[in-house]
Amino acid sequence: MLSYDAFLVRLTELNARIAAACAASGRAADAVKLLAVTKTHPADAAVFAARGGLAAVGENRVQEAAAKRPLAAADGAAGLRWELIGHLQSNKARLAAETFDRIQSVDTEKLVRHLDRAAGELGRPLAALLQVNAGRDPAKFGCELEDAPRLLEVALAAPHLRIEGLMTIAPLGATPEETAEHARRTFATLRELRDTLASRFGVALPELSMGMSGDLELAVAAGSTCVRVGTALYGAR
């Protein structure tokens, strides 16, 4: 893994990208949070994030995060928040609720029920985002756009879940231009869906988790509040 000094250089460059994207969109510089994606990297990656002033890291696999979190905490990252951004099977809901501060990948009613039960047994509310396949990509997880209202209705009725917003992943295209167009359309679709759902259900859904290393500027322009970045921070896995 890269050195901490090299990480700080990358972090500075990335923060500058985010700030420039916010300025270009007429948004406040602190309107977008950076989620450092530490999947497949050692626990030191999370320690670097904490030392660099980041509030949270994102992981794709429950068991990997469960093993790394105590190691990072013992090395000075005890205050770091951990978020699950990868697909979650319902049979791992209990371990996920124990391990993470927020689940960004809630995409089925069954998973809602399992997470709600687990959070209730743990005696604390669990923050969550609903993952929507806003780009209609068959290779991506997330509920379909048409199913999002029902999923939100079920999630809002779960007493131990705190639904904070929506998450999506943009499809890839055959060319950089096609990938960018997919991203623009996907991010705009998620923002419009959020606005519609918030109005329909009379709830605040402030979080829009969308955008990664290659398309964060497009995501910020569309209203993202959380960009999930791994490669630009830690290098290729």
Q: What is the 3 state secondary structure string of the chain?
A: CCCHHHHHHHHHHHHHHHHHHHHHCCCCHHHCEEEEECCCCCHHHHHHHHHCCCCEEEECCHHHHHHHHHHHHHHHHCCCEEEECCCCCHHHHHHHHHHCCEEEEECCHHHHHHHHHHHHHHCCCEEEEEEECCCCCCCCCCECHHHHHHHHHHHHCCCCEEEEEEECCCCCCCCHHHHHHHHHHHHHHHHHHHHHHHHHHCCCCCEEECCCCCCHHHHHHHCCCEEEECHHHHCCC
Length of the chain: 237
235 pLDDT band, cuts 50/70/90, is: confident
Percent of the residues in the chain that have a pLDDT greater than 70, as a whole number: 100
Residue 147 confidence (pLDDT): 98
Residue 83 confidence (pLDDT): 98
Residue 167 confidence (pLDDT): 98
Dump pLDDT digits (tens) for 99-115: 999 999 999 999 999 99
Task: Give the mean model confidence (pLDDT) for residues 71-81.
Answer: 96
What is the average pLDDT score of the chain?
97
150 pLDDT band, cuts 50/70/90, is: very high
User: What's the CATH architecture for 4-234?
Assistant: Alpha-Beta Barrel (3.20)
85 pLDDT band, cuts 50/70/90, is: very high
Q: Within a 10 A sphere around the Cβ of 27, how many other Cβ atoms?
A: 17
1 pLDDT band, cuts 50/70/90, is: confident
Residue 76 confidence (pLDDT): 93
Look at the pTM and tell me if it is higher than 0.85: yes
CA distances from residue 107 to 52, 152, 189, 217 in whole angstroms, order as listed? 32, 10, 17, 26
Task: Give the mean model confidence (pLDDT) for residues 58-62.
Answer: 98
59 pLDDT band, cuts 50/70/90, is: very high
Domain boundaries, the chain: 4-234
Residue 56 confidence (pLDDT): 98
Residue 29 confidence (pLDDT): 87
